[in-house]
Amino acid sequence: MDVNIKGFQDLCDGDPERLRELVELYLTQTTEQMLQLEKGIQTHSASTVSRIAHSIAGANLMVGVDSPVPLLRQLEHCGEQGEMTEARAIFEELDGQFKAMCIRLKEMIPK
């Protein structure tokens, strides 16, 4: 997966320490939200799925990580419509993308 770190860099004005902190914060918060999203799918909580998917999509757009957004929008729609039958498969694809993105981001941040 190709990850564009430019959005993170723009938010940090090129400061490597701030970049590291922002990427770490993004990874920590998004990992927690992914766990909440998975739990919402497991418990068939459509409102949770819609809310969390929307939140993750917004955070991704803010930092310029656009690739998972279509899947997040699909999950958001599933939650809004109360149609959870496809949510598990969509989440599995999203989770694979997220794990690959985490690896790439960790490789890109300053040590």
- Positions in the chain whose pLDDT score sits under 50: none
Q: How many CA atoms lie within 13 Å of 105's alpha carbon, on the beta-carbon side?
A: 26
Q: How much is the pLDDT for 12?
A: 84
Residue 8 has a CB neighbour count (10 Å cut-off) of: 22
Q: For the chain, how many structural domains are there in total?
A: 1
Q: How much is the pLDDT for 2?
A: 58
Please count the residues of the chain. Answer: 111
**Which pTM value belongs to this model?**
0.90
Domain enclosing residue 56, as ranges: 6-10+17-108
Domain annotation covers residue 1? no
Domain annotation covers residue 21? yes
CATH of the domain at 99: 1.20.120
Q: How much is the pLDDT for 13?
A: 84
Q: How much is the pLDDT for 89?
A: 97
- As a whole-number percent, the residues of the chain with pLDDT over 90 amount to 61
Counting runs of H as helices and runs of E as strands, what totals does the chain give?
Answer: 5, 0
